[in-house]
Copies of this chain bind each other. A is one copy, B any other.
Amino acid sequence: MVGQKAVLRQLHLNRMVTDALRLGIPISHAELDTALSQAAQRFSGQRSSDTSGNWILKMILTRGSGGRGYRPPVSVEPKLIVSASTFPPLPDPDGVVAGFASIPLMVNPHLAGIKSLNRLEQVMASQEFTEDDWELIMKDRSGDLVEGTRTNLMARLGEEWVTPPVGSIAVSGVMRQYAMECLKKAGEQVAERPLPADLASMPEFRGLYLLNSVFGVVPVRILERVNLPVDGTLATIANPLETLE
């Protein structure tokens, strides 16, 4: 959030409605839109924003309260939990250090892409952060790179931008979607295909970028102690602040 304005607002709302539907939680775009506007008004200008007016609004939707067990409550009354936090420190714009997580990421095809709270693998991976790591990248069981604990991936290979296929990733982030749209609009070639773990040793490799709607485009400067090339093309093409209405 910047003041009362939400970055990538429409993509966030659409994603929440779509994911809720996949999980069987009935919610409308209009209900969420209203809740977002109310929260933005209520929290903005409070202690949570930094000097630039940046803050984080978190909206958690649940299917509501029920008894023991996994079955849905007889009548579903979803709950929306809204919270505000201060904006975290921005990563170095020249790039960050990333490593590989040792726990594999196993994505159920029925749940691929859904931003849910079913994230024990990411929680376990996050215990492995060293002081230098800004992110840990998780691999699938065949060793391909899937995503960071809190970011999606975009690599530059020759003249092409490559991101792992939407059906293979745990969270289909709105920043990934926005970056793909911006690249296509700018006439760039974008492909969805697996990224091998030895990416950086491929002759056509020209850079790896982490995508997250809080931080935008974050270049990886060092991946598992290997220096990577970094340039500002993607950050210029896909600047989420340009979506502020």
Interface on A for B, CB 8 Å cutoff? 23-24, 56, 58, 67-72, 85, 103-104, 106-111, 116, 118-127, 129, 149-150
Contact = CB atoms under 8 A, between A and B. Distances in A.
A91 to B, nearest CB: 14
Nearest to A102: B110
11 contacts: A56-B68, A69-B126, A69-B150, A70-B123, A70-B150, A71-B129, A103-B108, A103-B110, A110-B121, A118-B119, A118-B120
B127 A24 contact: yes
Contacts of A149: 70
Among all A-B residue pairs, the 5 with the closest Cβ atoms: A118-B120, A70-B126, A71-B126, A103-B110, A70-B123
A118 B124 CA distance: 12
Nearest to A108: B106
A111 B24 CA distance: 26
Nearest to A71: B126
Of listed A107, A108, A149, residue having the most chain B CB within 10 A = A108
B111 A72 contact: no
Contacts of A111: 103, 120-121, 124
Contacts of A71: 126-127, 129
A83 B58 CA distance: 28
B108 A121 contact: yes
Contacts of A72: 126-127
Given A110-B124, A124-B110, A124-B111, A70 B119 contact: yes
Contacts of A127: 24, 71-72
Nearest to A111: B120
Contacts of A106: 106-108
A191 B127 CA distance: 35
A111 B116 CA distance: 18
A107 to B, nearest CB: 8
Nearest to A107: B106
Contacts of A150: 69-70
Contact of A124 (B23, B58, B120): B23
